[in-house]
Amino acid sequence: TRIFQLKKKRAMLKGQLVAVNCATLTGDNAMAALFGHTKGAFTGAHQARDGFLLSANNGVLFLDEIGELGLKEQAMLLHAIENKTFHPVGSDTSCDSNFQLIAGTNRDLRAEIAKGSFRDDLFARINLWTYELPALKDRKEDIPANLDYEINLYTQKNDQRVQFNKEAKREFLNFALSSNAIWSGNFRDLSSTVTRLCTLADSSRITIADVEQEVSRLKDIWKPIGGSQNSLENILTPEQLKNIDQFDLQQLSNV
């Protein structure tokens, strides 16, 4: 977004920023969403659609999770990048789109190429400038600023101003910046945390009790799947374990 804003400010772009999560594009819908389609191109195509590439004409197309695209979509995308033209689904007429491309992925695309699930020629074409963003756990100095941002974003979306008590904010940041906070979901974890804290806050004030409850919840979320941390001893009380039916015990253990 910041790159687009700077280019727009310097009059280097006339179009808009079009952001696409490729992980949500599957099958024929992927082709139609990216390249557009004509009316009647397939069942349910009651009217023509431009598609993301045409919408990004003279602007920026951000393809997040590009490694999720199928090989057919990758081939058409490569042609569109190199020639600035493509055919919408069901059309014999080509469309022009002079877009600038930014791609993101959490996959190792070289490994995907070795497995045959990503085209090496597309990788060579998009691999002009590469920036590796460290995970949130590796740049915890960004957490305080992003915490404030997420709080303000919640206020804007819900028209409800929520704030931390001074002590509560200190308590949360002490945990968030500690080695106990692994932030395995990166910024999605932080965003979800803020949403829960703001939603559950009484009188629009986040208290130490709210923080303690959320910290406990995060620790539970970050427990490894399987192993002793998810054993029944950590879920049921000693009294419940003592009185549980043996058949139920086996079933719950398997679950």
Query: For residue 207, what are the CA distances in angstroms to 82, 175, 212, 218?
Result: 55, 15, 9, 17
The 10s digit of each residue's pLDDT in 193-209 is 999 999 999 888 999 99
More confident site: 238 or 47: 47
Count of all residues that appear for the chain in the document: 255
Element (H, E) at 29: helix 27-35
Q: Exposure of 104 by Cβ count < 10 A (0-12 exposed, 13-18 middle, 19+ buried)?
A: middle
State the sign of the Cα–Cα–Cα–Cα dihedral 133, 136, 138, 143.
Answer: positive
Residue 188 has pLDDT above 60, yes or no: yes
- Whether the Cβ atoms of residue 33 and residue 71 lie closer than 8 Å to each other: no
The 10s digit of each residue's pLDDT in 101-160 is 999 998 899 999 999 999 999 999 999 888 888 889 999 999 999 999 999 999 999 988
Distance of CA 234 to the CA centre of its chain: 31
Query: For residue 179, what are the CA distances in angstroms to 41, 47, 129, 139, 190?
Result: 54, 54, 32, 12, 15
Q: Report the share of the chain in percent with pLDDT over 70.
A: 89
Question: What does the alpha-carbon distance between residue 102 and residue 126 come to, in Å, rounded to a whole number?
Answer: 8
| Token couple for 98 | 């002079």
Q: Sorting pLDDT into bands at 50, 70 and 90, what band is 55?
A: very high
**Whole-number pLDDT of residue 121:** 96
Residue 230 has pLDDT above 70, yes or no: no
**Whole-number pLDDT of residue 8:** 80
**Whole-number pLDDT of residue 124:** 95
Listed range (116-130, 180-194, 225-239) with the worst mean pLDDT: 225-239
Question: What does the alpha-carbon distance between residue 216 and residue 74 come to, in Å, rounded to a whole number?
Answer: 43
For residues 174-199, one letter each, b for 16 or more C-beta atoms within 10 angstroms of the residue's C-beta and e for the rest, the string is eebeeeebebebeeebbbbbbeebbe
Question: What does the alpha-carbon distance between residue 213 and residue 219 come to, in Å, rounded to a whole number?
Answer: 10
**Whole-number pLDDT of residue 239:** 67
**Whole-number pLDDT of residue 11:** 82
**Whole-number pLDDT of residue 228:** 45
- Whether the Cβ atoms of residue 104 and residue 64 lie closer than 8 Å to each other: yes
**Whole-number pLDDT of residue 229:** 44
| Token couple for 164 | 């931390």
Question: What does the alpha-carbon distance between residue 237 and residue 3 come to, in Å, rounded to a whole number?
Answer: 53
**Whole-number pLDDT of residue 49:** 86
**Whole-number pLDDT of residue 211:** 96
Give all strands of the β-sheet with 17-21 in edge-to-edge order: 17-21, 60-64, 100-104
The 10s digit of each residue's pLDDT in 79-115 is 999 999 999 888 888 999 999 999 999 889 999 999 9
